[in-house]
Structure 1
């Protein structure tokens, strides 16, 4: 599955950081992970910490799928608001999801300190009303979060202009939030896990999953077998190929990154991530070297050739929107622009755990939605709990059963 097009900045700026081998012989392990992106890396880290023997199998190069195309805004806020989630599943469940995601920011910071040099920065998240009539619902969302202890601040038009340099009817400013280099995080984490005994293979395509009562066999395109006690499918948006029912819709999102800007001009946006109430929404962040990453213009295109052909035009539209918000940033020329496939669930939540089609030894880590990295951090603890046959407080909410 071709998951991206154009030139994702992270892969270009970092290059091929480390060389990982192909699988050349049969193998055995406690847990085999299908996928070599950021979700797989975070789960592998948790399993190695628990003392499991882990084998990772990635069909491309490590980190070269959706991870390379991610803009990596780290937020606890879902694409579905806390209020809407509460109306669908009840306030208790909605709060559990939001609070668990909020806790991951500190966990990712601790991991980044251990790995070093992965571009982690603490930031403010600015969620602004795209239209005047969005203000009322946004205020209700603010009140609900404030009532339940989230660190949020309400800003009106004048305050937004003064503090962040753009005009909008209102916004919620929240913490914790952060940004990171997802490609670098993935490579450095897998490299560290190799030193702890993990076997990491890329350019190794799994063609069959053969579960039984006590083990699971994976068969590669070269006819090699990996026998494991459990398998975790963490192949990003390609994970759905293993399911006989679709649980999410694939969409395309577009992005560009600027050349480095004058720090004084960029001052109001440094250490800030932004997104809006409109759907599909514009989103942006900055980088440590004073670039701006802008994304959005999502569409339902899931054909790589068509998506490829739209990158330039979509980048132009994103520049127009950014110019409308921040005319002081002009002239602005994209250094690189790209598109990536992502999956969108109806409720904005991920799927983590077993699926009835495959039985209890095959677990899925489908961190779908706009905040996949934070969902992956929650999901790694859910996956490790499932392997240990322990209950996790979010197991039911993030299970496939909720869509019955």
Structure 2
């Protein structure tokens, strides 16, 4: 199976136990990616008793398979935000992510973070028009940026849009550091601990080892917030997959680049223990609709050789991330009627800054501090929260096993989430579910939810 540069070069892993007894806490967080760990850090620092549960190992999912860009330049986004939400809300989005970047810069140590310019570039007149529209949005919001033509890339570029003094991080080392300080502040982290049952009315969770967690507040920091409710994910979240390749290279770039034209590409370098690594990302498509995914790695590897004149790839990995219908993630209570259950998802491949921004929003809400971004990120703005609450009421506020029922079929293994037939992913050597994004390792064990039980390969 493929592994990312970040996971291969992480710090020596800290050992976090599996939960083996009944416990209680002020705040329980489900999900050990950067968003869950940041929530744990912010809340533990406020003196709350925080428990974080991760079904595998922390930072091994979307965070460990990201491109490592900590930036407020989220592709072409601000012109669209102004059109949908108005200038003030677009600026609120910018301010929330700028605060996240500044937190990262102030928090990171050593080579967990490097300064870098964030640069959008075009290779066509149409792409240049998009950059000009985005620059006007920047000006309206007050984002300092330069529209020009300078580029370090061996590509013909028509225009560039540059935000200076952004950041790129080693997401796993950064997250490990944050987890260590969360524990130092009093948070308890449990790995290999999977939630099997939920009773939200009584505020009780039950694990796969039959231990109970009694909570006052619950934060769902998983890709899909509640996997048991059929159809919920399809209605409000879509999932995209993208691919990354990396090789050692003496090609230190000052900027991190994203093309606005097709084919979509993201380019950056990373400096780890004195070695420069070149990262090339792209070839995106809706998750789990393609069986033969090796072609995407071959395409990127070919570009390493023939476009950038670098050695063949040393690392390759893919990541998938849900998107909300309107570009803004969900962060906050699911609804007014259930204010003690919080959602944190829908990062649209910009989960590093948005993880920190959303964690700040939720932690501020829990401790009673005002946060201007709360209404903009509210899960119920698209009807998502109300739909979820109604679904919970229909089940008596007690969720049955997350896997639901499934129908046995012939052919490829059946996903244990809702009975869809999985597809074999040759490139990553995984079984992928085309319905809701679950992924399973070669041996049938769970790589990524919403499924919570392994495949039956018998």
TM (norm. structure 2) is 0.77
Post-superposition Cα deviations, 1:268-289, rounded to whole Å, max 9, x if no partner, equal x2x3211011367211210112
Tell me the secondary structure at the aligned position of residue 189 of structure 1. Answer: helix
Mapped pair 1:54 → 2:37? no
Post-superposition Cα deviations, 1:235-260, rounded to whole Å, max 9, x if no partner, equal 2x2435266622221121111111x2
Task: Provide the rounded CA distance (Å) in 1 between the counterparts of 2:261 and 2:370.
Answer: 37
The aligned length equals 377
Tell me the secondary structure at the aligned position of residue 328 of structure 2. Answer: coil
Post-superposition Cα deviations, 1:276-305, rounded to whole Å, max 9, x if no partner, equal 1136721121011211111111111327xx
Among 70, 75, 84, the residue aligned to 2:71: 75
1:374 corresponds in structure 2 to 353
Tell me the secondary structure at the aligned position of residue 226 of structure 1. Answer: strand
- 1:22/1:203 contact within 8 Å kept: yes
Greater RCO between the two (CA within 8 Å, min separation 6)? 1
Task: Provide the rounded CA distance (Å) in 2 between the counterparts of 1:98 and 1:296.
Answer: 24
Aligned pairs for 1:4-403 within 5 A: 6-14=2-10, 17-112=13-108, 116-117=109-110, 119-156=112-149, 159-160=150-151, 163-212=152-201, 216-235=203-222, 237-239=223-225, 241=227, 245-246=232-233, 247-258=236-247, 260-262=248-250, 266-267=251-252, 269=253, 271-278=254-261, 281-288=264-271, 289-302=275-288, 309-310=292-293, 312-321=294-303, 327=307, 329-356=308-335, 359-403=338-382
- 1:302/1:341 contact within 8 Å kept: no
Of 63-72 and 241-250, more deviation after overlay is shown by 241-250
Q: How far apart are residue 39 of structure 1 and its match?
A: 1.0
> Given the superposition, is the C-alpha separation of residues 331 and 194 from structure 1 closer, same or farther in structure 2, using an over 3 Å criterion?
closer
Task: Provide the rounded CA distance (Å) in 2 between the counterparts of 1:287 and 1:98.
Answer: 25
Structure with more helix by fraction: 1
TM (norm. structure 1) is 0.87
Runs of 5+ in structure 2 lacking a partner? 384-458
- 1:367/1:375 contact within 8 Å kept: no
- Deviation beyond 4 Å, 4+ runs, structure 1: 321-324
